[in-house]
């Protein structure tokens, strides 16, 4: 009995130490993750499996008061059937969430808010999807900052990114994949009269929509008008499929690769290896939209509305002039198909000769 009591005390004491340190380790849960820190407090939670909820926000992190610091890490997917996926709120303090998986929710996939100098940060290593609302709703006020990084695609029934900045605040959003919203890719008050603050968006591609007049857009202001001034500030990531042959000599590579603005004319250098010649150079590999050849020997692409540039090349082997077909530079082994076809013909001919010889012997008997 005495040993049982001692074991129980040891377990309770261990948990008490974890809570006092502000760090709780969990190994999977089907309940919401809720982390809240008050003034001067530090709280953190780590979940090592998926988080799934039905009628609540799946992950919620709140920091309120001077010196507050709250954080959550989920090493899996996050899903909410009737709530938000991830909610991060900071009032004077710091609140952050890291999701090492996908996020899916009926309401906003991500809701990030900061005020009174607070800092709200969300990092998702996967896709984000909202089935009925916005992909990301972010608000910053009173000299605060919000940062959202999605290393994947963002899709939403309504708006991909709904961004509001006031009081000299700042919002930074990076989506390394595609941003798609049923109503709009982006809605923001940035770059409109009376707005006080800065919004920065970097993405590989933003799906282009059309307004009621048929005008194409990727961003609207809060009144529903095309926010052309903000569209010009969006940085588009340029993907390079064949990095051994393609480079961008005039651009500096940043944290998320090479970026450029809509309308920028980008110079592309293509280094052709010995024994090959260039057949095609594409800036959209899926639709096979070709680069433009300049008189200076370089190739050029103009960044289109919505971005989505991916650079690739087709190369021809100079020794196979009769084939009439090139092959993808990133898959050189596909050039062996023609040699295989030749050997197939030879084998078939040999088999035919062997059968004929056998039949002749049979007849001569």
pLDDT digits (tens, 9 = 90+) for 297-315: 899 999 999 999 999 999 9
pLDDT at 70 over 90: yes
Structure confidence at residue 351 as a pLDDT band (50, 70, 90): low
For residue range 14-59, list pLDDT tens digits in order.
444 444 444 444 434 468 999 999 999 999 999 999 999 988 999 9
Query: In this predicted structure, what is the pLDDT of residue 92?
Result: 97
pLDDT of residue 361: 53
Q: What whole-number distance in Å separates Cα of residue 122 and Cα of residue 180?
A: 19
Phi and psi at residue 95, in whole multiples of 5°? -130, 135
Distance CA 312, CA 279 (A): 11
| Residue pLDDT, tens place only, 106-132 | 999 999 999 999 999 999 999 999 999
What is the pLDDT at residue 340?
45
Question: Can you tell me the mean pLDDT for 273-300?
Answer: 92
What's the pLDDT at 7? 47
Mean pLDDT across 316-326: 53
Q: What is the DSSP string of 156-173?
A: ESSEEEEEEE-TTEEEEE
**Mind listing the pLDDT tens digit for each residue in 221-268?**
999 999 999 999 999 999 999 999 999 999 999 999 999 999 999 999
- The 10 Å Cβ neighbour count of residue 210 is 9
How sure is the predictor about 9, in pLDDT bands with cuts at 50, 70 and 90? very low
pLDDT higher at 204 or 20: 204
Mean pLDDT, the chain, integer: 86
What is the CA angle 332-294-256, rounded to 5? 60
For residues 348 and 328, which has the higher predicted lDDT (pLDDT)? Answer: 348
Domain-wise residue ranges, the chain = 2-233, 240-330, 336-365
Range 69-81 burial, b when 16+ CB lie within 10 A, else e: bbbbbbbbbbbbe
Candidate from 25-29, 192-196, 203-207 with smallest mean pLDDT? 25-29
Pairwise CA distance, residues 148 & 200, whole Å: 11
State pLDDT tens for residues 325-342.
333 333 333 334 444 444
**Position 349 pLDDT exceeds 80:** no
Q: Tell me the C-alpha to C-alpha distance, in Å, between residue 62 and each of 52, 69, 94.
A: 19, 8, 8
- Is pLDDT above 70 for 89? yes
SS3 annotation, 92-125: ECEEEEEECCCEEECCCCEEEEEECCCEEEEEEC
Q: What is the pLDDT of residue 124?
A: 98
Closest CA to 188 of 158, 150, 226, 151: 226
Cβ partners under 8 Å of residue 139, min gap 6: 112, 113, 114, 115, 146, 163, 164, 165
286, two tokens:
């899926």
**Each residue of 138-152: pLDDT tens digit?**
999 999 999 999 999
Name the pLDDT band for 324 (thresholds 50, 70, 90): very low
**In DSSP terms, which residues pair with 203 in a beta bridge?**
175, 236
Unique residue bearing structure tokens 């057949």:
279
Q: How confident is the model at residue 213 (pLDDT cuts 50, 70, 90)?
A: confident
Compute the distance between CA of residue 297 and CA of residue 314 in angstroms, rounded to an integer.
17
Pairing between β-strand 327-328 and β-strand 310-317 as defined by DSSP bridges: antiparallel
- What mean pLDDT comes out for the span 75-100? 97
Residue 13 clears pLDDT 50, i.e. is over it: no
CA distance 202 to 173: 6
């Amino acid at each position: 009995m005495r040993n049982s009591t001692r074991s129980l005390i040891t377990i309770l004491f261990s948990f008490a130490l974890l809570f006092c340190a502000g760090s709780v380790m969990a190994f999977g849960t089907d309940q919401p993750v809720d982390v809240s820190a008050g003034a001067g407090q530090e709280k953190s939670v780590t979940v090592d499996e998926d988080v799934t909820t039905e009628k609540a926000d799946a992950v919620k992190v709140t920091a309120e008061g001077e010196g507050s610091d709250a954080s959550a890490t989920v090493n899996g997917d996050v899903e909410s059937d009737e709530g938000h996926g991830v909610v991060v709120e900071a009032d004077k303090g710091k609140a952050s969430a890291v999701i090492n998986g996908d996020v899916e929710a009926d309401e906003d996939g991500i809701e990030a808010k900061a005020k009174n100098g607070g800092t709200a940060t969300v990092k998702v290593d996967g896709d984000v999807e909202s089935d009925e609302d916005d992909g990301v709703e972010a608000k910053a006020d009173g000299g605060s900052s919000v940062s959202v990084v999605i290393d994947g695609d963002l899709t939403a029934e309504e708006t991909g990114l709904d961004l509001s900045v006031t009081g000299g605040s700042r919002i930074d959003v990076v989506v390394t994949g595609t941003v798609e919203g049923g109503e709009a890719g982006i809605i923001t008050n940035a770059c409109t009269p009376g707005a006080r603050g800065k919004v920065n968006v970097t993405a590989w591609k933003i799906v282009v929509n059309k307004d009621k007049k048929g005008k194409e857009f990727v961003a609207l202001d809060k009144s529903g008008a095309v926010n052309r001034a903000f569209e010009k500030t969006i940085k588009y990531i340029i993907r390079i499929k064949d990095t051994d042959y393609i480079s961008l000599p005039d651009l500096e590579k940043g944290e998320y690769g090479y970026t450029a603005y809509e309308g920028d004319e980008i110079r592309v250098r293509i280094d052709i290896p010995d024994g090959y010649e260039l057949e095609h150079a594409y800036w959209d590999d899926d639709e096979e939209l070709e680069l433009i050849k300049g008189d200076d020997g370089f190739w050029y692409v103009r960044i289109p509305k919505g971005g989505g540039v991916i650079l690739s090349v087709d190369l021809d082997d100079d020794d196979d002039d009769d084939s009439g077909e090139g092959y993808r530079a990133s898959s050189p082994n596909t050039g062996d198909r023609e040699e295989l076809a030749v050997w197939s013909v030879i084998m078939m001919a040999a088999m035919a000769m062997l059968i004929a010889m056998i039949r002749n012997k049979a007849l001569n008997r």
